[in-house]
Amino acid sequence: MIYLDNAASTRIHDDVLNSMLPYLKEQYGNPSSIHRQGRLTRKAVNKARKQIASIINADPAEVLITSGGTESNNTALNGIASRFPSSHIITTSIEHDAVLEPCKKLNSKGFKVDYLPVDKFGMIKLSDLKDIISEKTSLVSVMFGNNEVGTIQPIQEIGKICHENQIVFHTDAVQAVGKIPVDVKELGVDLLSISSHKLHGPKGIGALYIKDGVKVDPMILGGGQEFRLRSGTENVANIVGFGQACEIVQNHLNKNMSFIKKLQSQLIKKVLDEIPEVTFNGHVESRLDNNAHFTFLGVNGEDLIIKLDEYGIAASTGSACSVNTQKESHVLKSMGFSLEQITGSLRLTVGIFNTENEINETVEILKKIIEELRAVSPFKEKYSFESKN
């Protein structure tokens, strides 16, 4: 199999898996217990928290362990909103559903929620943010790197605007952490969401960075674990794996970035050079290095995914989390794409375990499949589908 859906999930690193096994078999004590087994697991959790904090240049005490990006986003939004009843929240039209759905719920509870528009590259305008801020604005939530088209927002500049207006700033950095340098101090963010399985760690674990001094109301009450912000017995094995994944990624970040950028450039060039009637989507420069998003006119993206899967290639049309809703991409719609353009879109996301040969093989198979699908396309009279070779 050629796996090119790394934005949806990544293969767990062998060293991460090995680090987890002792906490599933031998060291299985509850971290809240005072006996030796409990102390050993508590020590492991504390070490992992330091590793997670290090990858974003935070203090360990600023890292809240969660079940993943969705919980982190929900905690950030609801935890701030509960402190500022009926206030004003600003987000964007291209956020992940893990931000959009909580915002929708908050709106139904009396909060005013505004959604910043984006241009054809998926980028917001800072002037729009400045214009929409009011005295009642309590929270701004803007995604770091978009999960569909890879566009990176001007996070540092947004942070400055928020702090000038005494507004809490949250960013969903699930797609960014582990792919590019992320420094919470330089960025000036108050809250930042991370997910383990996006950076070669286990699923079901993540974190929310909460800047020292920022107050967030707890969403899960009970025994008072996680600084009394998220009660419940810690998932020690997954926490250990998450921490190990962060350390591995951080130690090899520059090398990985260079390698992945090379694969991305190779993929983009070959597709644009060798396949007719294709467009490359998202911001050309301000984008995640692992993401390549295309629109193949005259092709149905879901048919393309199925055909690619038959050849052993894993890809996607967009967010894996939105598959069950069977709705058109709100990201591409916000960018001004027509239904035809949305329908013909494909996301290919590379990772550290991919190779140049896999990229070459994928493009060759992609050319063949697209030619077959366009031969029966109702749009074949509208476009020139002649091969570029």
> Where in the sequence numbering do the catalytic residues fall?
321
Would you say how long the chain is, in residues? 389
Question: In whole angstroms, how far apart are CA 373 and each of 256, 295, 299, 307, 377?
Answer: 35, 14, 6, 9, 6
Specify whether the CB–CB gap between 305 and 293 falls below 8 A: no
Question: In whole angstroms, how far apart are CA 289 and each of 176, 238, 353?
Answer: 10, 27, 15
Residue type for 324, please? Answer: N
Residues whose CB falls within 8 Å of the CB of residue 176, separated by 6 or more in sequence, listed in order: 144, 145, 152, 182, 288
Calpha distance 87→174 (Å, rounded): 26
Nearest to 145 by CA among 260, 46, 327, 7: 7
Burial of 12 (0-12, 13-18, 19+ CB in 10 A): middle
Max CA pair span of the chain: 75
Token pair belonging to 162: 């928020």
Specify whether the CB–CB gap between 207 and 64 falls below 8 A: yes
Around Cβ 286, how many Cβ atoms within 10 Å?
Answer: 15
Residue type for 174, please? Answer: V
- Tokens 């991919």 locate to 354
Calpha distance 93→96 (Å, rounded): 9
Residues whose CB falls within 8 Å of the CB of residue 213, separated by 6 or more in sequence, listed in order: none
3-state secondary structure of 65: strand
- Tokens 């983009």 locate to 268
Facing residues of 92 across strands? Answer: 116
3-state secondary structure of 163: helix
